[in-house]
Structure 1
Amino acid sequence: MRVTFLIHNGYGVGGTIRTTCNLSGALAELGHEVEVVSVFRHRKIPRFTYDKRVHLRHLVDTDKKSPGYDGEHPEFELPADDFPRSDHRHHQYSALTDRRIGEFLAELDTDVVVGTRPGLNVHIARQAPAHVIKVGQEHLSLDAHPSQLNLTLRRVYRRLDAVTTTTHADAEAYRRRMWLPGVRISTLPNSIPDPGIAPSDGSAPQIIAVGRTAPVKRYQDLIGAFAQVVAERPDWGLRICGIGPQDRELKSLVKKLGLTDSITFLGNVTPVEPEMAKASILVLSSRMESFGMAIVEAMRVGLPVVSTDCPHGPREIITHGVDGLLVPPGDIDALAKALLELIDDPERRQRMGREALSKGMRYDPEPIAAQCAALFQELLDARDGGTAPRQPATAFLSAAVHTAGDLAGATVSKARRTLGALRRRLRARTGN
């Protein structure tokens, strides 16, 4: 089977990039012919190591050191029309990416093409050849999308053969809220390979957090909770791996609380598992996790996880009280209490770590790649046999209700943007 992945930037870091790297390699190991096509390339060598059997190439070169640099191309400065404006990455796309993606899809010679973000899935749905199986991956969640984007997806995704989500909860949301007759909706969790290092023994007085320093991660809640922890257990430390828009704000908060000796910002760490293995607990304070790659990465090195019970990933990965603890999102006191429970009970912490190590094996790339390949083969067989999945009539009624909600949401958002623009013009005229 020939499989082609289309990804935003396969040369950087991030959960979607890593899981695409893992899945493409595992599919190649199963004997499939796999290609990863990256819209952008900002560096010569990718941050993750792809399997040698996987062909990696790019469409637009943004590496200024490269002789093929596209940043000065006249189309590079023109806004994209084909890539949906409601996808939050739209500002990075252009008339040049529209043309290059369109040309790539028009010439596509593969069995299955897989998009890895909404905007690229829209390109595939509209432009991929009819004979190619078209799969759209959801690496965020339906709830994370603005109303206008959901309206676009509800209309365009009907041309796909399948949509895959990383959690069962998100798959159910797609079935309940979207009317996609003939489109298979399946759950395909992310995979993490065995890191090949000794797991944590759970004895180090260290907690680790991994993820972008962005508002959705609620690091301010974690820092507040850890302030309570260190007040009772001053020998424990917290390490934060990741960079993002809140770097300066969070470091200022740590300094303000007098925690600079207890909290360390490590920046981006690749691979992250060796750093995780130096700790005894992973903590997540997010208000939303579409999957939770860091949870599985931690489990693969034997760390129990303390996480907010946010939608959707944590509750589908963590078994509360067995391999981790779940607390209400935004409850700083509950987060601190859960951390102290594991800190004060080394035997329980280490037992949970062993359970987590066992749980992590479920996310090995091989069985997930086999599940993925089976899905693709079923789609190929269904196409050749002329069959397609059906949705119950009640799904149409449910989708109609949610469509009305998205229309209202999109209208409100547009009105707010218009009002904001008018206010800015008024201030500019009056000088206030």
Structure 2
Amino acid sequence: MRISFLLHNGYHIGGTIRTVFTLAAELAARHEVEIVSVFRHRDEPILGVPAGVTLRPLVDIRKNSPGYDGEHPDFHRPARVFPRGDGRWKQYSALTDARIGAHLASVDADVLIATRPGLNVQLARQAPRGPVLVGQEHLILDGHSYRLRRDIAHEYALLDAVTTVTEADARSYRALGLPGTVRVDAVPNSVPAPTVPPADPAAKVVVAAGRLTPVKRYDLLIDAFADVAAARPDWKLRIYGTGDAADNLKERLARQIERLGVGGNVFLMGTAHPMEPEWAKGSLAAVTSRRESFGMTIVEAMRCGLPVVSTDCPYGPGEIIEDGVDGRLVPVDDTAAVAAALLALINDDEARARAAKAALVSSERFDPVRIAARHEAIWTDLVERRAGAAAPRARSHPAARAALHRTVGALLDSAYAAKARAGALVRRFR
């Protein structure tokens, strides 16, 4: 098959990028695979180009590049096809609308895959008849704005398939009432086998990793580990990751560590790339999120032989961890439960070693070979059905659809502006 991925920015780093690159690399052993990046902000991708895969950009935002597009007049005009409800909308423009549309009109592929809701919507609005159209959801439906969910419910009807990373999110998509022609499947993210030896269960280190954002509840983890350190002062907690400087979360966490007097036990390690060697220095992993779209760090830790103590938050941890076997699941926002679960494994060397072995075995189901096979089965079925059909399912002409959505977008913008003015008047005279 000829497979083409459409990605927001393949030159950056992040969970969706890593997942797409890993999947593309595995598929390239058997198929012709390309990744099309809407934006290019640096000369070389941070993660490197996957072996056997072609990577090409549509809009160059490198200021010193001969192909710099920042001076193009359409670069400063708002996007009308890319949906306004997507959180990245301000980064898109009339230029990205045109470049993505031209790419979709000319691409020679059996399967076209977009990888974020805004691009999925644009895929539905602009893609021509013929290729199988797949929208990948790497976040969660319930986490999107009302405006974006409305576009999803309407536009995804023109896709052939939607894949989510959890079964819970797949149920949310099925509840939208999309036509029966749209297949909805849950296929988890893949994580390659680590290139380092498995972690030593005797190591007295708990590892946590991820962006320093409030939803990850690192403040709760530090509070819980203060209780752990009081009982087992020989154990350490290492937290890897950085956050937005404007949030000052790192400074707040550092002050919390100092206030609790656990500076000799809890360490903010910053970013590590690759992360595998750091996982392997621990014997337990901890996740205290209020929500996760999947839980990549859980799988990464398990693949390195670390059982994981995690909050049983929506949507991913409960589909990854088998409670009491390869980790522990605890209630969200429960400091005492996190501390108790950590101490239960810290104080029982044999149980920790058994859980470590179980984590290695159970996490094999997320190997890229297995995950790629699941995607291939879906796409092959859809391609074969398309080939056996009398004609592709009708989609309106991309140019006509784009013009329609420009008009609708302008009307919606006017309506939202009017609503805002009305709200301001109500507040003024209340």
Q: Please, what TM-score do these two structures have when normalized by structure 1?
A: 0.88
Q: Is the 8 A contact 1:200 1:279 kept in 2?
A: yes
CA pair 373-425 structure 1, distance change in 2 beyond 3 A: same
What's the CA shift for 1:421?
A: 7.4
CA pair 233-72 structure 1, distance change in 2 beyond 3 A: farther
- Give CA-to-partner distance per residue, 1:33-64, whole Å, 9 cap, x none: 00001111222221223332100111122233
- In the other structure, the counterpart of 1:401 is none
Does the alignment pair 1:418 with 2:420? yes
Q: Is the 8 A contact 1:243 1:268 kept in 2?
A: yes
Q: Is the 8 A contact 1:122 1:156 kept in 2?
A: yes
What's the CA shift for 1:263?
A: 2.2
- In the other structure, the counterpart of 1:362 is 365
CA pair 235-165 structure 1, distance change in 2 beyond 3 A: same
- In the other structure, the counterpart of 1:91 is 90
Give the SS at the match of 2:206: strand
Which range is displaced more, 76-85 or 268-277? Answer: 76-85
CA distance in structure 2 between the aligned counterparts of 1:20 and 1:134, rounded to whole angstroms: 16
Q: Is the 8 A contact 2:115 2:137 kept in 1?
A: yes
- In the other structure, the counterpart of 2:402 is none
Does the alignment pair 1:147 with 2:150? no
- In the other structure, the counterpart of 1:17 is 17
- In the other structure, the counterpart of 1:316 is 319
CA distance in structure 1 between the aligned counterparts of 2:190 and 2:58, rounded to whole angstroms: 26
- In the other structure, the counterpart of 2:165 is 166
Aligned ranges 1:34-113 → 2 under 5 Å: 34-113=33-112
CA distance in structure 1 between the aligned counterparts of 2:427 and 2:238, rounded to whole angstroms: 45
- In the other structure, the counterpart of 2:270 is 267
What's the CA shift for 1:323?
A: 0.1
CA pair 81-225 structure 1, distance change in 2 beyond 3 A: same
Unaligned regions of 5+ residues in structure 1, if any?
Answer: 389-409, 427-432
CA distance in structure 2 between the aligned counterparts of 1:282 and 1:423, rounded to whole angstroms: 52
CA distance in structure 1 between the aligned counterparts of 2:138 and 2:104, rounded to whole angstroms: 21
Does the alignment pair 1:299 with 2:298? no
What is the CA RMSD across the aligned residues, in angstroms?
2.3
- In the other structure, the counterpart of 1:403 is none
Query: How many residues get paired?
Result: 401
Which range is displaced more, 48-57 or 11-20? Answer: 48-57
Q: Percent identity?
A: 52
CA distance in structure 2 between the aligned counterparts of 1:34 and 1:244, rounded to whole angstroms: 33
- In the other structure, the counterpart of 1:131 is 130
What's the CA shift for 1:122?
A: 0.7
CA pair 344-423 structure 1, distance change in 2 beyond 3 A: farther
CA pair 94-263 structure 1, distance change in 2 beyond 3 A: farther
- Give CA-to-partner distance per residue, 1:57-113, whole Å, 9 cap, x none: 111222334332333333323222211111111122222222211111121111101
CA distance in structure 2 between the aligned counterparts of 1:333 and 1:83, rounded to whole angstroms: 45
CA distance in structure 1 between the aligned counterparts of 2:47 and 2:94, rounded to whole angstroms: 29
CA pair 335-80 structure 1, distance change in 2 beyond 3 A: same
CA pair 267-154 structure 1, distance change in 2 beyond 3 A: same
- In the other structure, the counterpart of 1:28 is 28
CA pair 34-223 structure 1, distance change in 2 beyond 3 A: same
CA pair 235-7 structure 1, distance change in 2 beyond 3 A: same
CA pair 63-237 structure 1, distance change in 2 beyond 3 A: farther
Q: What amino acid is the match of 2:371?
A: I
CA distance in structure 1 between the aligned counterparts of 2:156 and 2:390, rounded to whole angstroms: 18
Which range is displaced more, 148-157 or 201-210? Answer: 201-210
- In the other structure, the counterpart of 1:338 is 341
Q: What amino acid is the match of 1:306?
A: V
Q: What amino acid is the match of 1:262?
A: N
Q: Is the 8 A contact 2:195 2:276 kept in 1?
A: no
CA distance in structure 1 between the aligned counterparts of 2:426 and 2:89, rounded to whole angstroms: 23
Q: Is the 8 A contact 1:157 1:180 kept in 2?
A: no
What's the CA shift for 1:201?
A: 1.2
CA distance in structure 2 between the aligned counterparts of 1:70 and 1:256, rounded to whole angstroms: 49
Q: Please, what TM-score do these two structures have when normalized by structure 2?
A: 0.88
- In the other structure, the counterpart of 1:404 is none
What's the CA shift for 1:419?
A: 8.4
Give the SS at the match of 2:56: strand
Unaligned regions of 5+ residues in structure 2, if any?
Answer: 392-411
Q: Which of 241, 247, 265 is matched with 2:250 structurally? A: 247
- Give CA-to-partner distance per residue, 1:101-146, whole Å, 9 cap, x none: 1111121111101011000001111111110110000101112112
What's the CA shift for 1:177?
A: 3.1
